Chains A and B, each alone.
Chain A
Amino acid sequence: MNIAGMGMVSARGRGLAALEQALEQGWVPPGEVEVKGLPSGRLLVYAVPAEAMSDKTVLAKARRADRFTRMAVLAASDALQDSGLGATVDKSRLGVIVATALGPHATTFSFLDGILDFGDAAVSPTAFSHSVHNAAASYIAMTLDVRGPTLTVTHFQFAFQQAVLLARTWLNDGRCDAVLVGTVDELGAVMHHVCGRMGKPAADGRIKPFAFSAVPETVPGEGSVFFLMTRESTGAAYALLNPLVLSVPDVISPAHRGGTLQLLDTDGMAKDETAYRTAVIPGMPVAGYAPLFGGLLTVSAFQAAAAALMLEKQRRYASPVLDNPHSLSLLHETSNTPLDTVLCTKLDCTGRPAQLLLSLT
């Protein structure tokens, strides 16, 4: 399964140039928001800047949509455009899979505001219709005229990995010639509060991917990443992407280890990251880019995008935060060193892994 195109909207901006710049530049301090109900009254976050979502052309059909949907429409549109297949792919055989952990919760709470402020009989139908999880997928379909299967899925642990697995079945089945598969999750006022109460905010603004802490620190993030996946290589592909869902961590062939990098999806959003100690493959270089984007339950898609870009550029980007209490073989400097495989590892709350293997086309 080929990654033929990518699109991303994150705290570092919109597009692959912004992704590349973020990887080159490394960690930057997060922003700060006022948060009701927290002792400090403030929280460090990686929020998508408004200017990253100001494209009125792409968003013309989504002008009534919320931030959640706008992020997804932009990332999906960019992935299709990046693939160069937008004009040629049969839209009846183009599928969409949107994976999200939390859905458009800001709009859900806006709808609840309507009930509490105006009563059950006077709520906004627009807020209701935009509060359903699949509103983003619908707007992607309308914007890109997608007539194939359009699915929205949710999972708190492995939303992206499961979506990739499903995309592969659609391509294998012959159901689709191409699938736009991606993730979107947002931060809103209530989620700021929830993250501040239930997580451990990183006081210095740095997610530490290799601390493997029993009480990990995080900086919440948001954004959307989409991949245009095809079964056959299109010639413009970034990488082959294969899900090794729920596999054991050492499934990768030792023969690949020389040109292989392992990315850990440690972003401080789990209650406990100690299990990652056993998921590191001995001797293999390790990196983690969550400090660039922030912590979110769909961070795996951001890591996969970074991996695909590294494979295409044949460039290894230094891990942005280098705290290394477990003496791992961290990727500590950026270099043009040959790279043929990237293994992205995520563990669920019980320590079970789901992995994505990206390799050269």
Chain B
Amino acid sequence: MVEEKVLITGMGVVSAAGMNVAETLAGFTSGIRNIGRTTPALSPLDYPVFQVSAPLRDSGNAHSRTLQLAFHALDEALTDAGLPHDLSGLRVGVCMGTTVASQLNDMDFYTAYRKTGEPPMEPVEAFLKGNLAEAVAGAVKARGPCITVVNACSSSADAVGVALGWIRNDLCDLVIAGGGDELSRIPVCGFGSLSVFSHEPCRPYDRDRQGLNLGEGAGVLILEPESAARRRGSRSTLFVGGYGAACDAHHLTAPRPDGSGLETAIRVSLAQAGIMPEAVGFVNAHGTATRDNDKVEGGVLVRVFGAQVKALSTKGFTGHTLGAAGALEAAFTALALREGWIPASAGFENQDDEIPIGAVREKTAISARYAVSTSLAFGGNNASLVIGCGS
């Protein structure tokens, strides 16, 4: 087992909050929420959504928008880490999370199949070239472990956790971990059918929250054992300290009311990081703004960390980016530790009597070595990442 720290040596993010790290931090500081509406091209249903509207970097042979988003974030992360785009000389693993990109759900293909019985096969070919981790591995010539996590909304948090395990088990010298998801008609219709959308900008943890807004984006982290990173000249002080995951075994779409699965995941991640809850400076909560999620999650955060814990949800800036959310929020958590502040939890105004904590209302200075990012998902998955900063 590799006992040394697993550093975050590079980060790349793209979401409605910003096209890169610098833009995102500026957006968090300004408090501006780049929210729009669904377009007819996406779905005839009318909901607020957080769309990436600026052009993406040239992403070569990306076969889907999700891949374009992932390649965009990957480019920034590799540059940030000081790495080339050809990693064939290293033991490199790739673990990416997604939801939409894992499904063969091309509407044109299926419509043609129903109408004519002989649809064009190009969408299927593109799908078979579009496995997120396989595509990223191919792009950087990675030859180590490679897998796409499809654990619904915790996918890319789990992907970061898998990457941590690979390094600790000495399977890789470097892992590209993250996730991506595009806005798609499928989840717009699906979440709409579950009546979990808000018709206004989402308000995580707020008393009057109505539900979530969908978003799109990608987040990529470069993880390396500290010794290998230092040999390359990395001066990063950010690291992934622990990962916990636990299943509710309760319901396909609703969290276990007592939150015991999430609590287990958090406590496992703290134990792996070797820290007590008091060492955690803030929690970047899953905070979807649905009635159930925030109520259950808030209760657990108080049980584990106490009522004084600083909490926020960045989904007020990004929307719920599904398979990208965990990695984006891990990156945001790391950035907050590095910068020494957390943004206001956009959309939060009034504390809910049913939730024993609120979220921060304004940009808040923090001085902490550790923070936690939580993710909950369909299927009862719960994931928790401990992010650290400092030598």
Contacts and interface: CB of A to CB of B under 8 A. Distances in A.
A166 B164 CA distance: 11
A138 B376 CA distance: 13
Nearest to B132: A154
A135 B379 contact: yes
B326 to A, nearest CB: 13
Interface of B: 1, 43-45, 99, 102-105, 107, 110-111, 113-114, 116-119, 121, 124-125, 128, 131, 133-134, 143-152, 158, 162, 165-166, 168-169, 171, 185-186, 188-194, 245-253, 260-261, 264, 268, 377-381
9 contacts: A36-B117, A37-B117, A103-B102, A123-B192, A133-B150, A138-B379, A155-B133, A156-B131, A175-B268
B149 to A, nearest CB: 6
A100 to B, nearest CB: 8
B252 A246 contact: no
B252 A135 contact: yes
B247 A148 contact: yes
Contact of A157 (B99, B125, B134, B377): B134
Nearest to B168: A173
Given A125-B193, A134-B151, A105 B131 contact: no
A147 B378 contact: no
Contacts of B250: 142
Interface stretch (A1-9, A110-118, A333-341): A110-118
Given A100-B150, A142-B251, A147-B261, 13 more contacts: A91-B249, A105-B103, A112-B105, A112-B110, A120-B192, A128-B186, A147-B246, A148-B246, A150-B245, A151-B149, A151-B158, A152-B151, A154-B131
A169 B272 CA distance: 14
A134 B375 CA distance: 15
A112 B43 CA distance: 13
A329 interface: no
Interface stretch (A23-31, A193-201, A205-213, A288-296): A193-201
Main secondary structure of the interface of A (DSSP, over half): helix
Contacts of B102: 103, 133, 154
A328 interface: no
B169 A128 contact: no
A162 B245 CA distance: 19
Contacts of B146: 155, 158, 162
B147 A121 contact: no
Q: How large is the interface on A (under 10, 10 to 19, 20 to 34, 35 or more residues)?
A: 35 or more
Contacts of B131: 154-156
Interface of A: 36-37, 91-92, 96, 100, 102-103, 105, 108-109, 111-116, 119-121, 123-125, 128-135, 137-139, 141-142, 144-159, 162-163, 165-166, 168-170, 172-173, 175, 190, 193-194, 197-198, 245-246, 352
B104 A108 contact: yes
A238 B13 CA distance: 46
B134 A156 contact: yes
Contacts of B192: 120-121, 123
A124 B369 CA distance: 46
Given A103-B103, A162-B147, A134 B247 contact: no
Contact of A103 (B114, B150, B162): B150
A190 B246 contact: no
B87 to A, nearest CB: 14
B103 A173 contact: no
Nearest to A189: B113
